[in-house]
Amino acid sequence: MKDYILLNCLTNVHFIIFICLFVCICSIDLFARLSQHKGSSEIKMPIKLERKHALPMTLVPIMMALGFVLFKLYTASKITNPETGRVSRINLKPEQELQLGIEAYAQVKKDEASKIIQSGRDVDLVKRVTTKLAAAAAQRATVHYNWEVSVVQSHEKNAFCLPGGKIVVYTGIIPIAQNEAGLATVLGHEMAHATSRHSAERLFRSDITQTLLGGVQGSLAQLDPSQKQAVMAALGAGAKYGSALPFSREQESEADHIGLLYMARAGYDPKEAVAFWQRMDEQIGKGSPPEFLSDHPSHGKRIEQLRKWMPEAEQELAHNRAPAA
């Protein structure tokens, strides 16, 4: 629980970074303006006037953006994750989130129509595991979903769960899963994204970031276009690598944690989660980018965290033991 409280504080650090960067930008802007007066016969008074008025006028857009951000933070809904206790802010109602998931799911089914399989061993396996995990998730869920799943015949090693509980599984992941517990590792993780409402949280944070960037852009209006472009590119990179990607990795870790609890609660051995990620690392780990450039934790980091959470998962298994088929 303490880890997630700390995480909730750390994931807001980009607000401080933006403010600090903006102070630096304003200083550069002011220095550039003052430099233009060097050698001018108009000595002190114009320069003093410029120094007096340039900075406050430059700050207006960013101050307006910060005002909007504070308003959005104040009016956003606060939700507490029933599994981890982490508090997050979102600005979508469950029904709005569900509608987004339904629309996206319909598009996926349209795009993959020729490859969706309706029956067979893989379909039976996926539906069996999904049913058990859905029951496990419902034990503590604050929002209940009508879970749906589609199985796509493909070599792609992937699965995902859209907002509202719409799941898509590509058959390429099944050989790596090897068994029900391995597949429960994958689906538990994906279902945890939905129950934790991670998509709504990402949309809210993206909105906040774009509002701040818009304020900074407005505050740089008097800069040379090339300077403005360079500054905005640097800020965009800072927002991506200093905030968005780390936050995405934290959501992935939270989904790993909750998914581990779901699979144990459903009667699956949680140690199979470690075995699954070891197999994933052997198959595709070599070509993965460095963790700081990725929106997912490295496989090694995942395995390390799963082992840390294992005692909690084993308690869930002991309290909810139900032999898996």
DSSP codes joined into one string, 244-281:
IHHHHHHHHHHHHHHHHHHHHHTT--THHHHHHHHHHH
Six-digit token string for 46:
């114009």
257 near 270, Cβ under 8 Å? no
| Neighbour tally for 228: CB within 10 Å | 17
47 near 34, Cβ under 8 Å? yes
pLDDT score of 43:
40
pLDDT score of 235:
65
| Neighbour tally for 261: CB within 10 Å | 25
Nearest to 9 by CA among 83, 124, 87, 63: 87
pLDDT in tens, the chain (325 residues): 445 444 444 445 554 455 455 545 554 554 455 455 444 444 444 444 444 444 444 777 778 878 888 888 888 889 999 999 999 998 888 899 999 999 999 999 999 999 999 999 999 999 999 999 999 999 998 888 999 999 999 999 999 999 999 999 999 999 999 999 999 999 999 999 999 999 889 888 888 888 877 877 777 777 777 776 776 677 666 665 565 656 678 889 999 999 999 999 999 999 999 999 999 888 875 656 554 445 667 888 899 999 999 999 999 999 877 455 4
Residue among 83, 97, 190, 316 flagged as catalytic: 190
* Separation of alpha carbons 165 and 187, rounded Å: 11
pLDDT score of 308:
96
Q: Looking up tokens 């699954």, which residue turns up? A: 276
Q: Which residues contact 34 (CB under 8 A, 6 or more apart)?
A: 47, 50, 51
* Structural domain that includes position 306: 1-325
| Neighbour tally for 238: CB within 10 Å | 15
pTM score of the predicted model: 0.76
Give the total number of structural domains in the chain.
1
| 291 has catalytic annotation | no
Question: Cα dist. 256→188, 239, 263, 309 in Å?
Answer: 8, 24, 11, 10
